[in-house]
Amino acid sequence: MRLFSYVVRYDKGFAPNLFWNYCTLATCKPGIRRKAEVGDWVVGTGSKENVGIGKLIYAMKIEEKIPSKNIV
């Protein structure tokens, strides 16, 4: 299990996408998408532009990887 973390500079609900029973990184963080595997965790923390530096915005455990060719 690995932990990936990044600062969510703007939280407008698109990236990460928290809708339709999935939390995805479909449009952001290609490095995390490439390296992360099932069982890893991804956390997004705040910035001065949103909830504040160092505050947790979300945490998600990767339960499934969907190949980008299957995303519509």
CB 61 within 8 A of CB 23: no
State the DSSP string of 8-50.
-S--SSTTTB--TT--B-TTS-HHHHHH--TT-EEEEE--TTT
pLDDT of residue 11: 67
Q: Determine if the peptide bond prior to 67 is cis (ω within 30°).
A: no
Q: What is the pLDDT of residue 69?
A: 67
Instruction: Tell me 56's DSSP state.
Output: E
- For the stretch 6-43, pLDDT in tens is 888 876 666 677 777 778 877 778 889 889 999 999 99
What confidence category does residue 1 fall into, taking pLDDT thresholds of 50, 70 and 90?
very high
For residue 56, give the amino acid letter: L
pLDDT greater than 80 at residue 71: no
The pTM (predicted TM-score) of the whole model is 0.79
